[in-house]
Amino acid sequence: MKHTIGILGGMGPAATADMLEKFVYLRDATCDQQHIPLIVSSIPDIPDRTACLLSGGPSPYHYLERYLHMLEEAGAECIVIPCNTAHYWFEDLRAVAKAEMISILDATLGEIPPSVKRVGLLATNATLATGLYQKKATAQGLTLIPPEDTGQEQVMQAIYALKSGNKPAAEKLLLPQIERLISRGAQRIIMGCTEIPLIVSGHEDVADCRFIDSTASLVRAAIRWYESRSDTQTALVPEQFAHA
């Protein structure tokens, strides 16, 4: 199969499964053969990205590089990574990759309408501390609004609650922070951690503004990559999983 996309996942497994589902539902296919060819790596031994960047924990880089090359050897021509914080190592990985790579940061920011200038950002402590979104957003003329200190603590607790399988606890922690971002002027809210769409699912109406789902943004960009190289193009499903 030509133009196969590799998913470098496992960070965490639920977020990887969510991406796989979005590849199915965001592709407007009428038969099996029109779906996107995917090779999925969901090996969860990659060290915690936030612990590495903020607490001196083991680096995930060599794991990421190993699984990237594994996907390439299996036939992947393009690599996507359903983890925002892992994009701290994106340029280093792209430098050693033979396959093309698509950035979740660029894909997500690219879906913000030109009329929107104030955007809330829900992400890990490490994504915020390393400025992954802030640097690109500033260049785009955007003002990013992260949660306040105690609110960010609850966002992190929500992310880890979801990773541990406790979605009710994650919802209780996260949903008030969404309302707080809106009260502070957010016109859109970036779900800048791939666990967050799983927490928000079923509660999209909690926001008076719309969400930008980073997983869905990356999937749409990957589908466009595939279609630009494929003889037969099939339209994206509009709005499905988008909230953007």
Q: SS3 letters for 156-198?
A: HHHHHHHHCCCHHHHHHHHHHHHHHHHHCCCCEEEECCCCHHH
How far apart CA 169 and CA 192 sit, in angstroms, is 19
* Encoded tokens for 205: 């109406």
Q: Do 56 and 34 share a domain, yes or no?
A: yes
Range of the domain at 93: 5-103+216-229
Q: Could you read off the pLDDT tens digit of each residue along the chain, which spans 244 residues?
A: 689 999 999 999 999 999 999 999 999 899 999 999 999 999 999 999 999 999 999 999 999 999 999 999 999 999 999 999 999 999 999 999 999 999 999 999 999 999 999 999 999 999 999 999 999 999 999 999 999 999 999 999 999 999 999 999 999 999 999 999 999 999 999 999 999 999 999 988 877 779 999 999 999 999 999 999 886 555 565 544 444 4
pLDDT of 242:
45
The runs of H, that is alpha helices, within 184-233 are 196-200, 214-229
pLDDT of 230:
82
Q: Do 19 and 35 share a domain, yes or no?
A: yes
Q: Is residue 240 part of a domain?
A: no
Could you tell me which residues are beta bridge partners of residue 240? none
Q: Do 134 and 185 share a domain, yes or no?
A: yes
Q: Do 68 and 97 share a domain, yes or no?
A: yes
pLDDT of 1:
66
Q: Do 92 and 156 share a domain, yes or no?
A: no
The CATH number of whichever domain residue 154 belongs to comes to: 3.40.50.1860
Q: Cite the active site residues.
A: 83, 193
Q: Do 89 and 47 share a domain, yes or no?
A: yes
Q: Is residue 44 part of a domain?
A: yes
Domain total in the chain: 2
pTM score above 0.75: yes
Could you tell me which residues are beta bridge partners of residue 27? 236
Q: Is residue 67 part of a domain?
A: yes
pLDDT of 233:
52
Q: Is residue 239 part of a domain?
A: no
Q: Is residue 237 part of a domain?
A: no
